[in-house]
Amino acid sequence: MLKQSSRSSLFIICFILFMALSCAGSALAWYPRIGSQALVAPDVGGVVGSNRPYIIGNSENLMEIARRGLLGFSALMNANPGQDEWLPVVGSEVILPYAAVIPRTFKPGITINLAEYRLYLVEQQDEFYRVRIYPIGLGRDGWQSPEGTYEIAEMIEDPIWTRPENMRDPELPSIIEAGPDNPLGRYWLGLSLPGYGIHGTNRPFGIGRRVSHGCIRLYGSDIEDLAKRVRRGTPVTIIYQPVKVSTAGGQLTVEVHPDYLQRVADLEQEVKNQLKQNDWQGLVDALLLKQTIREARGIPVFFDRAEAGTEKTDEPPES
């Protein structure tokens, strides 16, 4: 539960734009610090951002690399299978997964895809959409983050956290004032679903993991950036979509994340369903598709035009 702080300040936030990145179709992407921002044509989608290589140094671990790079921990681990999270191989190269498929179904407002631990802010700009991407932390088992369509109902700077009754502990304080120990961080964006919201955190290593009591957590710099770009009434759509497909510019791209809720019975069929929705008439490299689904690395995989003899998208690949 929350109480409005009487303190209010005006912050001028400067983000260094230092990564010029190429995108599919008519999009141009870059990163304010690390969070992805791009322009994409409406009802086209595409791929924004670009993955980056990184060489593991002495005494580094993937948890700290994710935090420094403003990445979600699960995204970094999935993109680099075989690396030990605490003892990665010094001198080895890992992928920092900043690229993402933007489905054409995303509309202005906030879309949260629980399956990929990401929040998308989509803003209309002339005939284009401006897209910004933020990694998030989610609800743990038994405290699942809700799905559905909501809106931002309240915005509080420097919130005060009141421990809910079902979380009371006589050895812990029931109320935490604004400050570095507040689990809500600097900003609370309350949803129209009472008790749930988007907020910062005093535990940044929880970003990209399922550790909350249902709310959506962001890094401190990300929630500060998001809070200045939204307002009360901004629509919020929360989905669970482990498979994303883009055919923008005639380029087939597939992004598959682990289906941790085990909801999708047939991931290959889900890819084909999305291809039909995109009116894709080309062929698909069936072996690459199987590999992409099996690995579920959460990074966009680009498909070349399949040669004659490869299976068509409307025919199920043989096992």
pLDDT score of 158: 81
Kind plus residue range of the DSSP H or E element containing 37: strand 36-40
- The pLDDT tens digits of the residues spanning 73-98 come to 999 999 999 999 999 999 999 999 99
215 is catalytic: yes
**Is residue 271 predicted with pLDDT exceeding 60?**
yes
Nearest to residue 99, comparing CAs of 65, 133, 136, 56? Answer: 133
DSSP code at position 170 = T
pTM of full prediction above 0.75: yes
- Grade residue 292 by pLDDT with cuts at 50, 70 and 90: very high
Which of the two residues, 78 and 21, has the higher pLDDT score?
78
Catalytic residue among 23, 199, 213, 257: 199
**Is residue 250 predicted with pLDDT exceeding 80?**
yes
Q: Is 233 left (phi over 0), alpha (psi -120 to 50) or beta?
A: left
**Is residue 171 predicted with pLDDT exceeding 90?**
no
Please identify which residue in the block is written with the tokens 């420094």: 68
Q: Are strands 175-176 and 160-162 parallel, antiparallel or unpaired?
A: antiparallel
Catalytic residue among 14, 23, 213, 215: 215
- The pLDDT tens digits of the residues spanning 99-137 come to 999 877 778 899 999 999 999 998 887 777 788 899 999
pLDDT score of 12: 21
If you average pLDDT over residues 147-156, what whole number do you get?
Answer: 94
Q: Which amino acid is at 105?
A: T
Q: Which amino acid is at 251?
A: Q
- The pLDDT tens digits of the residues spanning 210-235 come to 888 778 999 999 999 999 999 999 99
How many percent of the chain have pLDDT more than 70? Answer: 75
Q: Which amino acid is at 102?
A: I
pLDDT score of 11: 23
Nearest to residue 19, comparing CAs of 31, 37, 4, 28? Answer: 31
